Structures are given as C-alpha cells and as structure tokens.
A and B are shown apart, each in its own frame.
Chain A
Amino acid sequence: MRKPAFEPGLEKAAEAAERRRGFLLGLPAYVYLVVFFAVPFFIVFVTSFARRSATGATKYDEFSTSAYVKLLDPLVGTIVWRSFWIATITTAVCLLFAYPFAYYIATRRPAVRNALLVLVMIPFWSNFLVRTYAWRFILGSDGPLGTLTEAMGREPFRLLFTPAAILIGLVYGFLPFMVLPLYAAIERLDWRLVEAARDLYADGWTAFRKVTLPLTRSGIIAGSLLVFVPSFGAYVTPAILGGGKDLLLGSYIVTQFGQARNRPLGSALSIVIMAVMLVALMIRNRSGAEEI
C-alpha cells in the first residue's frame, strides 16, 4: 500500500517546530533589546515628566510637565532652531555633492564601481572622533593652514570655532551616509526609461528631472534621513569644532546631565530628537510605499 503523500498532521507539526526554532533564535536579541533599549526609552519618557528638586535631584514622586514648558523658553527654542538649521544645511550640502558623486560611481564598470565604493565605505566606518579631530588640527590657528597664512603675512586664519567649522565637520562626518543610499537607488535605476525619454525628444535636463530624479527619490529621502537625524543631535562635532559658543541641541542635552543637573529637561529634549527621528522615518516609509 502506498503511503499518503500528504499528511496534514505531520506538516502542521513540522511547521510548528520551525516556528518554535525561529522564535528561540530571535529570543535573545528580543529580550536584550527590550530590556536594554525599549525599557531605557520608556525610562527617558517617564523622566521627562519627572520633577527636578531644588538641589537638582530627579524626583519621580509626581507628574510634572515643567520640562516641556521649559522647551517653550526662548533660549531652548533658539538652540533647537539653530540645530535644525545646521542639520538642514548639512543635509543640503551633502545632497548637492553626493548626488553627482553617487551617479558617477554607479555609471562606472562593475569592477571599478566596487573599488570606488570601498573607498567611500572606509571613511564611513572609521573612527569618527579622530576624523573630526583632523579638521580641528587643520583649521586651528597653529595648524598647517594657520601657520602657512601667517608665514605669507596674511590675516591670521579664522575658521575654527565658527558655525562654518561645525558645518564642515558635519558634512565630513555624514557625507558617506548620503552617498550610499543614493548609490543604491541610482544603481537600481532602469536606464531604458531614461533612454525612452531621450528617444521621445526630451533633452538631458528634462529627462533627468522627469525620469532619473523621481526614480531615485527613495535614495534621496533615505540619505537625507541618515544625514539629518544624526546632525540634528550631533554632539562630538560641535564640541570639537564649535568651541562651545553657539550651543547646539546635542551639547545642551549633555549639559543637562552634567553641570546643569536637569535630567527631566535633558530627557524631554531627547524625546524631541526621537520625535524628529520618527517623523523622518514616517516620511521615508511613505515614500517607500509609493515606490513600485
């Protein structure tokens, strides 16, 4: 007698076993991230509604919105606004240079393309602190550029500790974050569509604007998100290149956990950053959904 080819009971049992195996494999990461990521997030949220005692201690005994009221303070408003602008300009500058750059890499031969890409990845992941320090060294008045201008009898070189220096540092730090998603989008592009546009007498600019640009929009949005969010909350770059004159959000939050001793305010500001991050993510996901 032939065995039935299909045994629903067995199939179901096998499926359940597979599901259990997947669950068990994912469990450590799940537990770890709940305990050491989701719970910490929740504590930040709770702390943002905590009370700051006269001595600066954080008291969880009553619900207080004073940290959020403080956000409306003109000083805090200026800092958030300034960070927003610096992040916006950083994103715009990165986009301006990264788009043609990514386009150039994506249109090379595959072997060349991979080599060029590796040369982007290396600064992408190598030591951020030290890369920022390199600019501090170069831009400083006693650095190579400063000494050179001095030797030529020119005005002493002044760029360090200005917003322009912060901008250079942020672009330097985050430019690769813009290049990689743009590259991925341009590389995926179906060039026949561009050719079709040209065949239908679109000039180069029109074809770019009407075909290439819309088709690579997901890359533009993803790259902008990856540059904007970390620039908005940047701490290391302004601390090294900004000289602490024009306060930015990242430094201001760190101060709340140090000298200012105002953890509820620092938490509320962190929540602001996360809110901006979530809005950016939503914009990104919506644009992804439109993409076919």
Chain B
Amino acid sequence: MKSLRHPWIDRLMATNAWVVYAFFYLPILVLVVFSFNASARVGIWGGVSPRWYGEVLGNAEVLDALKNSLIVSGISTIVSTIIGTAAALAIDRYRFRGRRGLDGMLYLPIIIPDVTMAVMMLLFFARVFDIVELVGPRWQLGVTTIVISHVAFNIAFVAVVVRARLGQIDKSLEEAARDLYAGAWQTFRRVTLPLIMPGVLGGALLALTLSLDDVVVTSFVAGPGSTTLPIYVFGLIRRGVSPQINAISSLMLIASIALVGLSLLLQRNPQDAILPDERLKET
C-alpha cells in the first residue's frame, strides 16, 4: 500500500497528524501546568504551588456544587444505564412493533444541539408545573428536573455503546445456552449479561461523564439550590480568568479524562464503540 503514495505526501500527513494531536492536547496541558502557578497573575509564572487547589477544595460553594453534581450524575447514570441497556437488547435481539420508532428516537438526543434540548426540557417542565398547580401542589425546578433531563439524553448514549458491544458478541453462545435448556432469564443472566458487561459499564461511565459535564441543559432546568459544578464554574468563567478556575478546571478535566479512558478501556475495541454515526448504517 505504501507504494501508492508519494513519500512527501506521507510525510505531510504525518506532520498534519502531529499538528492535530498537538492542537488536541497542548491547550489542556498548558491549563493544567498553569493551574500550579503560584502567582496570582495567571499569565506570569511564579513557581510551582498547590495553593489554588487548597483554596478551591476549601470553598464551601464548590463542595456544595460538587455534591449536587454527584447526586445528579449518580442517579441519572443508574437509571439511564438500566433503561438504555434494555432498549439496546430489545432493538438488537428482537423484532417487535415500534422497533423502528424506538430506534429513531434513540438517535435524536445524540445529535440535537444542547440549546434545543434545553429549551425543550424547560418548556416541558413549565407546562407540567402550570397544570399541576391547578390541582394544588407547587412544583419547582431542582435536582429532580435535572436528573430527568439528563436521563433523557443519556439513555441514547448508553444504548449506542451497548449495541456496539452486542454486535461484537457471538450469538451462537446464547443459542447454545437455550439448546441446553436454559430459560430466557437464565440465558440472559449467565451468558448475555456477562458478555455485554464491558459495554454496559462503558456506557454507564460515558453517561456519568456526560452528566457531570453538562452545562446548557442543566442551567435551563436547575432551580435555586441545585447548582451543579459545571454551572458554578461556567458562572465564574463568564466573569473572567482566575487561578481558582484554573485549579477547578484542571480537576474536572483530569476526572473526566480518567472516566473516559476507563470507559474506552472497558470497551476494548474503540472504533466500534461510541460512534453515534455507526447506528445509522444498518437503517
């Protein structure tokens, strides 16, 4: 294959690849390095110090926002992983009425822009609350509405990852179990589930990451007292750059990279997973 290309084209492509990787990683690296800058003037290097990290981790507002973030992402991950895995199994393994509709609805939350999804959720809750108020109780935006919205977009991401995994496993293993008189539940519990477990965990970690990172949808459906970490940080960023933001951002970035890395590790075959576009191929 190499003979098909001029050597200089090869060299140009290699250079381009290095440039793109540098573009991906240098800004992140610069940010993390400067988060250890002792100087209060962010652009001037004043020696290494964990000072800003100490300040950030001692900040009650940050810890409060972190707590909200963990509650929201924990619940939404568990719920969306269960629903999303079931949906992936249904679409991949069964033929039933409404299958195509479900398939289509599982694609839209992935490509829809954040702002549109945010508008949808806000107006929905506003309408529902108006109607509920006619009967009595006054509902308000808060942690619950954030969780509901996060589950709405996370189901689709979990389903994509699990389906990619289902596509990789050998169906004859399940057939063999059935032939040996295992019931449907037993087959699922003893054969299918262990086989798709990496996909389920990978999907769950992806859902966790997306939920921990979301700004736009959350800011639309958050109420007083339910500020999550990204919303808090977004508010700070809009006021300008500061060494404290550098420290929080670095922590968030490292946590998020660790989760994504773990998720990819579990899925083993990265090109088959988390590629939303893959799903359209078969339809």
Q: Which residue numbers of A lie inside 8 Å of B, CB to CB?
A: 18-23, 25-26, 28-30, 32-34, 36-41, 43-44, 47, 97-98, 100-101, 103-105, 107, 114, 116-131, 133-138, 140, 142-148, 172, 175-176, 179-181, 183-184, 187, 191, 194-195, 198, 204, 207, 222-223, 225-226, 229-230, 232-236, 239-240, 250, 253-254, 257, 263, 266-267, 270, 273-274, 277, 281, 284-285, 288
Q: How many residues of B contact A (CB 8 A)?
A: 104
In the complex, chain B residues 210-262 whose Cβ is within 8 Å of any chain A Cβ:
210, 212-213, 215-216, 220, 230, 233-234, 237-238, 241, 245-246, 249-250, 252-253, 256-257, 260-261
Q: Which of B28, B120, B215, B283 contacts A270 (CB 8 A)?
A: B120
Contact B43 A32 (CB under 8 A): no
Q: Which of A39, A122, A240 contacts B257 (CB 8 A)?
A: A122
Across the two chains, which residue of chain A brings its CB closest to B276?
Answer: A226
Q: Which of A34, A98, A134, A257 contacts B31 (CB 8 A)?
A: A134
Q: Which of A28, A40, A118, A181 contacts B123 (CB 8 A)?
A: A40
Contact A125 B230 (CB under 8 A): no
Across the two chains, which residue of chain B brings its CB closest to A135?
Answer: B27
Q: Which of B90, B149, B238, B271 contacts A240 (CB 8 A)?
A: B238
Contact A104 B113 (CB under 8 A): no
Interface centre among B9, B120, B209 (most CB of A within 10 A): B120
B residues in contact with A277, CB < 8 Å: 111-113, 116
Q: Which residue numbers of B lie inside 8 Å of A, CB to CB?
A: 1, 4-6, 9, 12-14, 16-17, 19-21, 23-25, 27-28, 30-31, 34, 41-44, 82-84, 86-87, 89-91, 93-99, 101-102, 105-106, 108-109, 111-116, 118-124, 127, 148-149, 151-152, 155, 159, 184, 206, 209-210, 212-213, 215-216, 220, 230, 233-234, 237-238, 241, 245-246, 249-250, 252-253, 256-257, 260-261, 263-264, 269-271, 274-278, 280-281, 283
Across the two chains, which residue of chain A brings its CB closest to B269?
Answer: A114
Across the two chains, which residue of chain B brings its CB closest to A144?
Answer: B43
Contact A104 B241 (CB under 8 A): no
Contact A123 B25 (CB under 8 A): yes
CA distance A176 to B76 in the complex (A): 26
Interface centre among A105, A179, A222, A270 (most CB of B within 10 A): A270
Across the two chains, which residue of chain A brings its CB closest to B215?
Answer: A129
Contact B257 A187 (CB under 8 A): no
Known: A19-B95, A21-B184, A253-B119. A28 touches B234 (CB 8 A): no
Q: How far is the CB of A287 from chain B (nearest CB, A)?
A: 11
Contact A121 B120 (CB under 8 A): no
Q: Which of B1, B151, B246, B281 contacts A137 (CB 8 A)?
A: B246
Contact A29 B86 (CB under 8 A): yes
Known: A36-B148, A100-B16. A26 touches B215 (CB 8 A): no
Contact B116 A198 (CB under 8 A): no
Q: How far is the CB of B149 from chain A (nearest CB, A)?
A: 7
Contact A270 B4 (CB under 8 A): no
B residues in contact with A47, CB < 8 Å: 123
Contact B102 A26 (CB under 8 A): yes
Interface of A: prevailing SS? helix
CA distance A126 to B210 in the complex (A): 8
CA distance A183 to B42 in the complex (A): 38
Give 13 new A-B contacts, CB below 8 A, not counting A142-B43, A273-B116.
Answer: A21-B184, A29-B87, A30-B102, A32-B155, A40-B123, A125-B209, A134-B30, A147-B41, A207-B4, A230-B114, A239-B234, A273-B113, A284-B280
Q: Which of B44, B90, B278 contacts A25 (CB 8 A)?
A: B90
Contact B111 A195 (CB under 8 A): no
Contact B1 A191 (CB under 8 A): yes
A residues in contact with B28, CB < 8 Å: 123, 131, 134
CA distance A107 to B1 in the complex (A): 9
Contact A121 B260 (CB under 8 A): yes
A residues in contact with B155, CB < 8 Å: 29, 32-33
